[in-house]
Structure 1
Amino acid sequence: MTTAGWLAVAVFAVVYALIATDRVDRVAASVGGAVLMLAVGLTGTQEAFFSTDTGIDWRVIFLLIGMMIIVSVLSRTGVFEYLAIWSAKRARGRPYRLMVILVLITAAASALLDNVTTVLLVAPVTISVCRQLGAPVVPFLLAEVFAANIGGTATLIGDPPNIIIAARAGLSFNAFLVHLAPLVIVLLGVLLLICRVIFRSALTYHPERVGAVLALRERDAIRDPRLLLLSGIVLAFVLAGFGLHTILHLEPAVIALTGGVVLLGVSRLETASVMRDVEWPTLAFFAGLFIMVGALVDTGVIQVVGTFATDAVGDNLLGASLTLIGGGALMSALVDNIPSVTAVSPIIEQLVAANGGMEQAGMLWWSLALGAGLGSNATVIAAASNVVMVGLAQRAGEPISFWRFTRDGLLLTIVTIVLAGLYVWLRYFVLGGAP
């Protein structure tokens, strides 16, 4: 590895340590690290601001802006309070039963939409219902973001890395369902069991609160029926656009931003008031992170790691599969799953071609998808959905530290990665399923 590569690793490690220890605000650390990478020439302005491979992913940024505008308008209708009361009633005020409902809804929505959009929509509901019941907010938010990452792994559109993998390997939407959805269903059951254990102290039933919540009427929470109707129509078109974006040949970011602008126009709300609800610090954190990871790619660090891992296993398909699951999870946890998959994908193409093509070595792509998707739960910076959820929690006065997230997420990641390895071994090597 070059001197520039080692320097990029050093800068990234220092910034990572600052974020992990909460000694410096995570936004300041991320943006500061990006500025340092640019200042010492580890990446250039062309690569940082205009490259689709190593620069700021403006598609993610504008997708978030569009959805944040929609959520901001929706919050003024009272619909989140409505859903909170509805959920609490269905759970009869039982915290664990409520967590199960919210986790399953989140996972399903994440598979059909994407995990970032799902987190933006479900977090306000969760914060509201937890406060109604007197339950701690953070365990529920963590359970939901874990569910979003697991659920998003099941489909082509559920997680950005899957879109990259599908484009590289020529995989269809149905192929993801056939190969990944069965495992994801099992892992959701595992998630619910783990949540029961690690969050047991937070799942305390408060009967004095429940009576008051059950007495509430959902309809009374709706403050602006006209705006709710308009928001529902726009949101329906946006979600339909997400599902059809490959047919429409429109990026999800364009669809989300269009929906946000249209809804802002028809809502008659003050633009400045709505835009203040956009999580600008979260977007700045993303921008800094993209630039830093881009520098790791530009200096060859990511390529060196990926090549080393694949060279170590050679033509041993089982070893390669397990390495991709474990190594992909590790790279996602330390960097981010999008650049990790982007960097490793060309190597997988070569391995698949050298080992008989998709008919023989197709499980390597599924192993990469599992590693990147399940590794997303290990740390805050492992996935866009994590960063968004932590930002929303911070704004709601429910901060989630780096180590709080990692303490619970790492345990879940280890368990799910082990199960993913067993699944790949059984399905493709023991039972001889088509890869």
Structure 2
Amino acid sequence: MASLIDTQRKDTKKQLTGVANSSAQGMLQSRPFVMQSKNENQIQQHDLKTSLMQAERYGHHLDKIQPAGILADTAVQTKLGTKQLPKSNTAELPQAQDGIIQGVWVNYKNGKVGYDWGKDNKDSNRPSDNHVWMDDKEFVTFKNAGKRRPSNKWTDKTTGVNYYSDDGQNFFTDKEKKGKPVTFKDTSNLLDRRRSDRHGQKDPISLYDVTTYKDAKNREKTGDAMEHDHVTAGESMKHRVDKENNDSFEITDSKRKHSFKGNGIEKGKKWAYDNAPSIEIRGKDHPEGNDHQDYTPTWGKGRQYNEDTAIDNNQTSLKRKRPDMDAELPGVAFERDTDTMLNETHKLGRGKDDSLKQLGAYRYLYRRQIKLDNISPDSPAYKMTKGNPLANKNENGGVEYTYQPGKTQGQLLDSMFLQHSQKRLSTPLGIKNPP
């Protein structure tokens, strides 16, 4: 990453302005089934070079935007707008003016959110076809979804660098706030991502929370009418541990890793079931419907006993009951379950706010599964090409998965999340989806 730094002296004060420039998968074979330099007075206050390296990881294009003003021991004048962002991320945001950045172009890479900040959503400003526009409030709603911990995060939209502040006045570059604070003279381009609705992991479980199944059970409240849904299914996790212990996988996958970073083998099936990630969804007696029963492809024995078929790159066919097949192909199982849930519930018109929270939570769940090695995004891709995943066995249930040459499972999942983002972002927040 290149950076250009100019320094000037005026009236014994140092004034610093900076312009930073930053630029922000092949076919996997599947076999058959057999910133800146520091001033002396700023060393403990703000290491912008480190911060910009953080921004670079997220793919921010800093050559298209101007940096916001920062006050440390010296005064730094911003060239951006002067209208202040409200301190609550639920309030209305200012209209585009005087260089205020109004939103972000979002894309996906193995479920990780990459983003480029922009002043407007004109197609001419779209970085590429696989980006979708979110305004500030939509982005905060989406990014906070699924997470159970409180947050004091703010993002500088001119650089993509994150800061941490409880009061919206004193900002720190570290979550622990051990260093001296950085003060912004103008906060127009600081995005408030704080969460006043969360106080810690001991909070009761809430809709769309992502946590382990065991933790969700511990945090549930009697009568909350919600279910802790494994995605992929808990039964498939048990089958997978058996396959790992016995080395009995039938679908060859050179990218496969041991679940839970090997802990599944060591600690057994019950441990894997309890510690697998789950997402909180509407269940029996919920006033808005039973999403768990109605839209989960692994709900009940009628669906779990379906026999699904996978056809590999040599056109060899394997048929197994759903939990067993899901253990073989956890990535495609995750795509099937998530895509089905998002498609079916979107038809219900619960509004964009609910829809974005749901989408963001499933995206966060996907990232959790990757970090645990429960899903390998680099694995050869399979896609559901036939059948109804919600049909029961006595309804001729069972689906078919087909190998996708030259693709990875992660690419297909990223494409799925992008398509659902585009669908959800066509309606303003707070407005019901069109019927």
Q: TM over 0.5, yes or no?
A: no
User: Which of the two has greater strand per residue?
Assistant: 2
User: Which of the two has greater helix per residue?
Assistant: 1
For normalisation by structure 1, the TM-score amounts to 0.26
For normalisation by structure 2, the TM-score amounts to 0.26
RCO greater where, 1 or 2, for CA within 8 Å and sep 6 or more? 1
